[in-house]
Amino acid sequence: MTNWPLLTLVTFLPLVGAGFILVMRGDEALVARNARNIALITSVIVFVLSLFLWSGFDSREAGFQFVEKVDWVPSFGISYHLGIDGISLFFVLLSTFLTPLCVLASWISVHNRMREYMIAFLVLETLMVGMFAALDFLLFYVFFEGVLIPMFLIIGVWGGPRRVYAAFKFFLFTLLGSVLMLLAILAIYFQLGSTDMVQALTFKFPVGLQTWLWLAFFASFAVKVPMWPVHTWLPDAHVEAPTAGSVILAGVLLKMGAYGFLRFSVPMFPEATHLFTPLVYALSVIAIIYTSLVALVQQDMKKLIAYSSIAHMGFVTIGIFTLTEQGIQGAVFQMLSHGIVSGALFLCVGVVYDRLHTREISRYGGLAERMPRYSFVFMIFMLASIGLPVTSGFVGEFLVLMGAFQANTLVAFCATTGTILGAAYMLYLYRRVIYGKLTRDDLKTMLDLSPREMLVFAPLLVLVFWMGIYPSSFLRPMQPAIGSLIDHVQTATRDSLKAAQVAVAVEKP
């Protein structure tokens, strides 16, 4: 098993499934049934295979593992180079874990073009996994931007009433950010002579150039995270996307930006990172407080959760730029936790949306009477989103705040208000939807969770508690990678500070 190109297999197996679905013939109902079966089987196999990545992963190693490298465009030094370290391992797992759940969640809620829908999700899975595993800039970029295609179609074809607007906004916003990154990648190529990320990680870029490269990458990742003020595409995209689309969007696509910061901006441009940390802090704090307040007044459940996502991603960016071990670990953990929890929350909204076809909060109320199981599940995820101890959300936020207090007390203080506001809007949402009197007739006929829906939520519930009670199984593999990253950045900044001091000393006679 060790000689298998396991990463390639995990990355491209979904495409094989998509190919099968593509060639299916027959009447529509039959094709739809087969399409979702094939999609489910493929994505489950991919998930199982990706578990081998975890079990085969050496947790003491800081470098990249499962590395595969083949020439791609040799005349430009571009290669097909895959590999994962402690950070990307879990993002790969998150992608492969959420995809089968998305397929399952869309089992009956998608009414038209089931075949294309499933193909889109499988293609999306390939692109997501490939993006987290890529170790070549252009390969990364291909996956990073390729993701836009299936997501554009998912929002646009299966989305809500304003889907066209949302799909265009999503596509063009993210594209504008990423093309600037492409130019930065090309500039890196001329510094480095190849587009290999592993080489770039230890390469010392000239400080002046770093600033520009950092800003170009920031343009791309800030839109993707999304950071205030370029976050406006997210609420639209979330509201209009079908449930499973929102799950992937919140669960994985938002992580691509923060992963980019962690993989590119921080280790490759340490001096620039040092320079721009206040900017990131400021934008993140604004994001946390502002979007939390906005979330408080939302009338639409999905929009509320979308705004809460922006706030939670604010914690992540703060954590990354504290450049402390706790901060970065917390950021990664928070991303994983948010991927699970916000995905689950969108699924919770999807459950009631499937029944009543509205997401307006005021249309609901008193669901606890008729839907006790649903209320319980919703409560757990709601509390995890707030960051209650024993759930996954607590570990991430706690570590981030701990790192933030070491780095900058004011930032930490402001971020903490965000957790309070977070509790406010989530509890308020829960009260309005679940508690109160059940007055409306159509609500009285609503059914509780079906076995299929419980099957979707069960693994998410397990993970939320697992991550909350025993976070070590996730933190341990990422420790060496994060440790070496921090060492690298600190040496680099120290060296350049020293060089600057020497320069000043030389100038002074």
Partner 1 sequence: MPVYALPDFTPAVPEIFLAVAAMALLMFGVSRAGAKTRPVAWIGVVILAIATLLLEHVPAGRLVTFNGMFVTDAFGTFMKSLIMIGSAISIILAMRYNEREGMDRFEFPVLILFATVGMMMMVSANDLISLYIGLELQSLALYVVAAFQRDSVRSTEAGLKYFVLGALSSGMMLYGASMVYGFTGTTGFDQIAQALSAPSAVNSIGLIVGIVFVSVGLAFKSSAVPFHMWTPDVYEGAPTPVTAFFAVAPKIAALSLFVRVLIEPFGHLMVDWRQIIQFVAVASMILGSLAAINQKNIKRLMAYSSIGHVGYALIGLAAGTPTGVQGLMVYMAIYLFMNLGTFAVILTMRRDGHMVEGIADLAGLSKTKPMVAAALAILMFSMAGIPPFGGFWSKVFVFQAAIQQHLIALSVIGVVTSVIGAYYYLRIIKLMYFDDAERPFEASGIELGAVIFLGTIGTVLLGIFPGPIVAAAQTAAASLFPG
**Residue numbers at the binding site for partner 1 (CB under 8 A):** 71-76, 138, 141-143, 145-146, 148-149, 152-153, 156-157, 163-164, 167-168, 171-172, 175-176, 179-180, 182-183, 186-187, 189-190
- The CB-of-183 to partner 1 minimum distance in angstroms stands at 5
Q: Which residues contact 248 (CB under 8 A, 6 or more apart)?
A: 98, 99, 102, 121, 124, 128, 151, 343
Proportion of the chain in helix, strand, coil states, percent, rounded to 5 = 80, 5, 15
| C-beta separation of 444 from 371 below 8 A | no
- The CB-of-101 to partner 1 minimum distance in angstroms stands at 25
- The CB-of-70 to partner 1 minimum distance in angstroms stands at 11
- The CB-of-193 to partner 1 minimum distance in angstroms stands at 12
- The CB-of-149 to partner 1 minimum distance in angstroms stands at 6
Tokens 């109160």 locate to 436
| C-beta separation of 42 from 102 below 8 A | no
Nearer to partner 1, 189 or 381 (CB): 189
Nearer to partner 1, 153 or 254 (CB): 153
* Cα torsion through 86, 88, 89, 93, rounded to 10: 150
- The CB-of-184 to partner 1 minimum distance in angstroms stands at 9
Nearer to partner 1, 74 or 509 (CB): 74
Nearer to partner 1, 219 or 349 (CB): 219
Nearest residue to 396 via CA among 434, 422, 374? 422
DSSP code of residue 360:
B
Nearer to partner 1, 138 or 347 (CB): 138
Nearer to partner 1, 76 or 413 (CB): 76
Nearer to partner 1, 181 or 368 (CB): 181
CA distances from 369 to 21, 444, 447 (A): 42, 9, 11
Nearer to partner 1, 119 or 234 (CB): 119
- The CB-of-262 to partner 1 minimum distance in angstroms stands at 22
Quickly list DSSP for 251-265.
Answer: IIIHHHHHHHIIIII
Nearer to partner 1, 15 or 280 (CB): 15
- The CB-of-116 to partner 1 minimum distance in angstroms stands at 8
* 49 CB burial (10 A radius; 0-12, 13-18, 19+): middle
- The CB-of-249 to partner 1 minimum distance in angstroms stands at 18
Tokens 């929002």 locate to 155
End-to-end CA distance of the chain: 66
* Cα torsion through 44, 50, 52, 56, rounded to 10: -170
C-alpha–C-alpha distance, residues 369 and 374, integer Å? 10
| Residue 428: other Cβ atoms inside 10 A | 16
C-alpha–C-alpha distance, residues 115 and 10, integer Å? 22
